[in-house]
Amino acid sequence: MKEKSFEEALEKIGKLIEELEEGNLPLKESVGKFKDGKELLDFCNKELKEAEMSVQKIVDDGGKIRLEEFEQTDNTIKPGENYKEYTKEITEDYPNAYRSWKKDEEELLLKLFDEGRSVDEISEMLRRQPGGIKSRLVRLGKVEGY
């Protein structure tokens, strides 16, 4: 695997989640993307642990400034952890998030996009996440991958 940064891995995880949330991939491809995401998640957790071990905090000790080791906590991201809570929060703002696209909804998306509406406007109208709108526009050939 090529050298990657934490930020690149995190961005890739976000894209994989959007692709999986659309629910349009064949099972074998979905499983492959899930495995890729797990590998990236493990990488991010390792990077976070290493960063956490090397961080120190500045403490004001009665007017004396000193460095103290940063207290370690177990803030690692675990697959599936708080997923229901996360999706509940998202669907409060975007009720159609994580649902399959219907033909008439895709047609409306294309119409709004062709009218020059912004992704944010379309997102609000279709009650889906902006990332889901972008992914669908890529899938429909209206924009190149982002």
Q: How does pLDDT run across 74-128, given as a tens digit for each residue? A: 544 455 556 667 777 788 889 998 888 999 999 999 999 999 999 999 999 999 9
Q: What is the DSSP letter of 140?
A: T
For the chain, what are the domain ranges? 1-81, 82-146
Average pLDDT score, the chain: 80
73: pLDDT strictly greater than 50: yes
Instruction: Give the model's pLDDT for residue 1.
Output: 44
pTM beyond 0.85:
no
Banded model confidence at residue 21, pLDDT cuts 50, 70, 90:
confident
- For the chain, the distance separating the N- and C-terminal CA atoms, rounded to the nearest angstrom, is 22
Question: Between the CA atoms of 99, 104, 108 and 111, what dihedral angle is there, to the nearest 10 degrees?
Answer: 140
Nearest-angstrom CA–CA distance, 78 and 5: 19
Instruction: Give the model's pLDDT for residue 64.
Output: 65
Banded model confidence at residue 142, pLDDT cuts 50, 70, 90:
confident
Phi (first) and psi of residue 57, to 5 degrees: -115, 150
Banded model confidence at residue 23, pLDDT cuts 50, 70, 90:
confident
Q: Is 107 helix (H, G, I), strand (E, B) or coil?
A: helix
Nearest-angstrom CA–CA distance, 20 and 5: 23
